[in-house]
Amino acid sequence: MTNLTIADKPFSSRLFLGTGKFGNLEVMRQAIIACESELATMALKRINLQSEADRFLDALQISNVNLLPNTSGARTAEEAVLAAQLAREALETNWVKLEIHPDPRYLLPDPIETLKATETLANLGFIVMPYIHADPVLCKRLEEAGTAVVMPLGAPIGSNKGLRTQDFLEIIIEQSRVPVVVDAGIGAPSDAAKAMEIGADAVLVNTAIAVAQNPVQMAIAFKEAVKSGRRAYEAGLAMPHTEASASSPLTSFLLGE
């Protein structure tokens, strides 16, 4: 299978992990290791940047795993840009997952603030990975603004509802010049496999693993699903046919019978 490349960085795993909601940081660590993910996001607001040792940050020090700070909690472009700058300073990374949700109920991303923040951060040299609605036009606008990837949602975050936005995801995948990472809503390994089958470049999973009865086993299940979904995509998945095609009653006259 081909590698994924984001901003010149190759990834051999197409499964990204969110690190919220785990009941036990050691289990979180084991789950990340078990699924061989190379990119884990973490909420900046949960880390104590002032103190020398932070339990959460310490648990995420795993070889081959890149940390992707996210701006969760930010409600405006301004707050998100500030968060990204603090993260760059404290964690020495210019990668940032942009999450701007003024709505605290469904944590739905604000497209206007996200576009603004992407423009600013890209100009400041950040590798920007914005969490967005499955909005194909917004994706093109973000590309123009210099985004590194787009991260459209499959369903409301934490809902485990799967690919409710599949029609729009397919348009985004068809049109995109940057990698498409399906973020939010993926509730089961089969959802992840489906996202990969339709051509997503990667998926980001959190709740479905963190809240599983056995997070480590669930992480492995997702690893396998993502791999087989991607393999199927690359192998050229046969599209389902809605009608039988044994004979051609409408066009057989062309054969001059």
Partner 1 sequence: MRSFKEIFEQYSWDEIKKRIYAVTPEEVQHSLYKRKKTLADFLNLLSPAASTELETMARITQSTTQKRFGKTIQLYAPLYLSNECQNICTYCGFSMDNGIRRKTLNNIEILSETFALKEMGIEHVLLVSGEANKTVGIDYFLNAIQLLRPHFAHISIEVQPLSEEEYRALHEAGVHSVLVYQETYHQEVYQRYHPKGKKSNFSFRLETPDRIGQATMHKIGLGVLLGLEDWRVDSFFNALHIDYLQRQYWQTKYSVSFPRLRPAEGIIEPNFIMEDRELLQLICAYRIWNEDLELSVSTRENEAFRNHIIHLGATTMSAGSKTNPGGYSVDKQSLEQFETSDERSMEEIKKIIREAGYDPVMKDWEHYL
Which chain residues interact with partner 1 by CB under 8 A?
Answer: 20-25, 43-48, 73-75, 79, 82-83, 86, 102-106, 158-160, 207, 210-211
Beta partners for residue 5, in sequence order: 10
Nearer to partner 1, 160 or 166 (CB): 160
Distance CA 62, CA 191 (A): 27
Nearer to partner 1, 106 or 124 (CB): 106
Q: Is 185 annotated as a binding residue?
A: yes
Residue 2 in contact with residue 233, Cβ under 8 Å?
A: no
Nearer to partner 1, 9 or 46 (CB): 46
Residue 194 in contact with residue 215, Cβ under 8 Å?
A: no
Nearer to partner 1, 76 or 94 (CB): 76
The distance of closest approach from Cβ of residue 208 to partner 1 in the complex, given in angstroms and rounded to an integer, is: 10
Residue 116 in contact with residue 76, Cβ under 8 Å?
A: no
Active site residue 116: no
The distance of closest approach from Cβ of residue 150 to partner 1 in the complex, given in angstroms and rounded to an integer, is: 24
Residue 179 in contact with residue 202, Cβ under 8 Å?
A: yes
The residue type found at 177 is R
Nearer to partner 1, 87 or 138 (CB): 87
Looking from the CA of 112 toward its CB, the CA atoms found within 13 Å total: 3
Q: Is 3 annotated as a binding residue?
A: no
Beta partners for residue 182, in sequence order: 203
Q: Is 206 annotated as a binding residue?
A: yes
Q: What is the DSSP letter of 23?
A: S
The span from the first CA to the last CA of the chain, in angstroms, equals: 47
Q: Is 226 left (phi over 0), alpha (psi -120 to 50) or beta?
A: alpha
Q: Is 184 annotated as a binding residue?
A: yes
The distance of closest approach from Cβ of residue 84 to partner 1 in the complex, given in angstroms and rounded to an integer, is: 11
Q: Which of 9, 21, 45, 97 is catalytic?
A: 97
The distance of closest approach from Cβ of residue 47 to partner 1 in the complex, given in angstroms and rounded to an integer, is: 8
Distance CA 222, CA 225 (A): 5
Q: Is 123 annotated as a binding residue?
A: no
The distance of closest approach from Cβ of residue 227 to partner 1 in the complex, given in angstroms and rounded to an integer, is: 26
Distance CA 190, CA 196 (A): 10
Positions annotated as catalytic residues are 97
Binding site for 1-deoxy-D-xylulose 5-phosphate: which residues? 158, 184-185, 206-207
Binding site: which residues? 158, 184-185, 206-207
